[in-house]
Amino acid sequence: MHVLTDPLQFDFFVRALVAVVVVSVLCALIGAWVVLRGLSYIGDAMSHAVFPGIVAAFLTKGNLLVGAMVAAVLTALGIGAIGGRGGLKQDSAIGIVFVGMFSLGIVLLSRAPTFTTDLSSFLIGNPLGVSAADLWGALGVTVVVGGLLTAIQKELLLASFDPTEARAVGLPVRRLNNLLLVLIGLVVVLTVQLVGTTLSVSLLITSSAAARLLARSLKKMILLAAVLGSAGGVAGLYLSYYLDTAPGATIVLVNTAVFLLALLLRRRDA
């Protein structure tokens, strides 16, 4: 029992546990759509594409989170606009906007006198440095995103897998797609700030991909992704505590192992 209870004497460890669980649920809500629609590249791309917003906020002494969210919305709308024209596939649009936005961030950064720890910590993230205010913010975003996706689930499903039929019944397909991209961007921004880029992408993609191998419906996939992400996060945090390793990277390795196990189970059932 001491193995489980000893780390809980530290408030930062308890907050990290809660943060990983909340972020896992949030990433499961949006990650299921990312995996089903083949947008796995967007998580990593979006986490870098918000860079100019962060740098601009830093240079103007503004709020880094607000700057990142503005950049995320602009990136999402840019991907939707380019992907909806010229016959380009969405992965091409993601690549174009990602490279352009990240390069803009580098140009803006070259105007900064120094690269401070405030800016680097936002990009790197640290589960063990999560505050109580961060947790409440993440919980609020999870409730809003979950409620919104539940409200438009049927419309989004039809627009995702049969856009022709969706247009025929009068659904605003482009607006639904743009809304999904914006939600992905905002979730990525929040999770990157809390737990870092690597862990954010892992919770968004790896856990949802593992759930996709085992679940047969969208609801079960979301629920299983949340359970797998939370379990992997908790196990990874405990391992990092006792092995004295980087918490984010340790959680990613646990999630990867869970995915490989799900892949093995799927092959046995095939």
pLDDT in tens, 87-146: 667 777 888 888 888 888 888 877 766 655 455 555 555 677 788 887 888 888 888 888
Q: Residue 214 class from Cβ within 10 Å (0-12 exposed, 13-18 middle, 19+ buried)?
A: middle
Closest CA to 105 of 58, 39, 41: 58
How far apart are the C-alpha atoms of 195 and 7, rounded to whole Å? Answer: 19
As given in the structure block, the two tokens for residue 254 are: 């646990």
For the four alpha carbons of 135, 136, 142 and 145, in that order, the dihedral sign comes to: negative
**How long, in residues, is the chain?**
270
Q: Are 200 and 192 in contact (CB under 8 A)?
A: yes
Q: Are 33 and 160 in contact (CB under 8 A)?
A: yes
Q: Are 218 and 36 in contact (CB under 8 A)?
A: yes
At 171-187, the pLDDT tens digits run 888 888 888 888 888 88
Between 117-124 and 64-83, two packed helices, what is the crossing angle to 10 degrees? 50
At 141-174, the pLDDT tens digits run 888 888 888 888 888 888 877 888 888 888 888 8
Q: What is the average pLDDT score of the chain?
A: 82
